[in-house]
Structure 1
């Protein structure tokens, strides 16, 4: 009886694949010309040439994370129309295009990859692998994520399929795609982080021709808010001094009758006689208690000795040389007369001082000082 053949692989308990990498990942080192990048990669910014060159130099020393590839056949099974784009490449990169670009930039001829055919079992699985992050690549920005979701919606046949694949709601899918309604200029601001995603989604709901104006209005509001915040912080750091306590109420003014009348050189008509003042011109009234110099008299006032020599009777009327008050005139006059304030010494002195020529005032000061000095000496 003939014996049955036994596979060595079966005896060893190993899996047998008709295609390498179909069941278990296979680590390979492939030349760059055997690889091709998929067009479904949403990444738009792979970094500057300087950043890619620096990354490529690191890959020359050691590549810690391999790229993920699928066979050409598995890829074209999902997208037959991609045959011309793939060309003669044996593998399509699902994850690791940045490593591929950096290696080419620095002249590195090969790239370490992991061949995983299960990544290409469905379109959704492949597109999800394209979006997944690796240790040596940068995170997708919000616009790139929106492009990735939009690609999945297109390739899977609708937002419902994408929502079901990720276990999300259809509204979540719509929110991701909404950023693509922004103008290209505003999309760049979102990618660089200058425009917050929350603000970008609000502006994306506006017509394209008004989006830029809405963004400028937002910037102006933010500027005003920052200025107001700075003022509040400055005020908190340097609080204003507490207000001074209110001043005590001013004392009630004295009654008009209690105030001594101000003695002026010319008596003016009372305010309640305004009508009469308008009818007749104001007449200047000279003081009756003191003889004043007239406007035509150019000679200075005579001293007391000259005065008493001319009028001897005046020397004995009052010791201070001030004549007795005259009787009120019986002449009819339209203006009232005022008496010299004999009863108020300070007021009378104030009035006389104002009428003194400067030389007489200086002599009076000398007499007062001499008198005060004698009083002080006698007191001691």
Structure 2
């Protein structure tokens, strides 16, 4: 079955215009539209792309609401059953519940509920701070739904094409890397350099990045080493051209100083039987 392609002009572009206009109309008449609603009767938007809410940040917002009240109302609309559905302000709603508030100020927007999915995506992309993975899924939904290119999407949502493409590449990361990015254990810069690695290499690199608190630059060096490990000299490689007589002379000097020394494969091996012998050797060569 052919992929649905509505075209930029009549698809995504039209949705942006209609949603933005309806939203602005409701905001312009906010005195009439603001209600005090019970926090328990507000239904979540089933298309909300935001899935992760940082607990400490929510608690800070809850404390602020306790002290100063809610400064910006949430936005809801009425569905076909006359129930209120959240359009914008999920963090404010969650924080208000956390603060023990029973009601919340809400602006009732006159928006077709069939556009809730598009509105949720657009509202979050343009007005809120999704984590990189949530943002990537939002971009992907818009691309899939309207069949537009990265360039066309970038022009419409005022984001660079490079930013959109790099963000979408994060969806190719293994789930455990995406989770670490969502939880803030690594940054998007770290995640971006992991994209070209295999699942096993991603695990190895991510553990090193977190465990050693590597910067993005250090992580890039780590990835280069993983992808191009230094070659260990093999037995088939030619041996270094070392004068055997010099090795034997060094061996004799060591023996005269009571060290057990032997020559093997262009190396001088010194044997120690006690820690005190090692310590005495170190002190001697250090002076």
Structure 2 length-normalised TM: 0.52
Distance 1:55 1:199, change over 3 A: closer
Q: Does 1:153 align with 2:153?
A: no
1:215 partner SS = helix
1:190 partner SS = helix
Contact 2:45 2:85 in 1 (8 A): yes
Q: Does 1:55 align with 2:61?
A: yes
The answer for unaligned runs of 5 or more in structure 2 is: 1-21, 219-287
1:168 and 1:53 map into 2 onto residues whose CA distance is 31
Contact 1:69 1:95 in 2 (8 A): yes
Residue 35 of structure 1 deviates from its aligned partner by 1.4
1:221 and 1:129 map into 2 onto residues whose CA distance is 34
Distance 1:156 1:92, change over 3 A: farther
Alignment-derived partner of residue 175 in structure 2: 184
Alignment-derived partner of residue 196 in structure 2: 205
1:147 partner SS = helix
Distance 1:155 1:114, change over 3 A: farther
Contact 1:68 1:94 in 2 (8 A): yes
1:111 and 1:28 map into 2 onto residues whose CA distance is 8
Matches within 5 A, 1:91-240: 91-117=84-110, 122=115, 124-133=118-127, 139-160=129-150, 162-168=153-159, 171-216=162-207, 222=214
2:75 partner SS = strand
Larger Rg computed on CA atoms = 1
1:113 partner SS = strand
Contact 2:88 2:120 in 1 (8 A): no
The answer to which structure has the higher helix fraction is 2
Contact 1:53 1:105 in 2 (8 A): yes
Matches within 5 A, 1:30-41: 30-41=37-48
Match of 2:29 among 18, 24, 33: 24
The answer to which structure has the higher strand fraction is 2
How many residues get paired? 188
Contact 1:29 1:113 in 2 (8 A): yes
Distance 1:125 1:159, change over 3 A: farther
Distance 1:120 1:174, change over 3 A: farther
Alignment-derived partner of residue 250 in structure 2: none
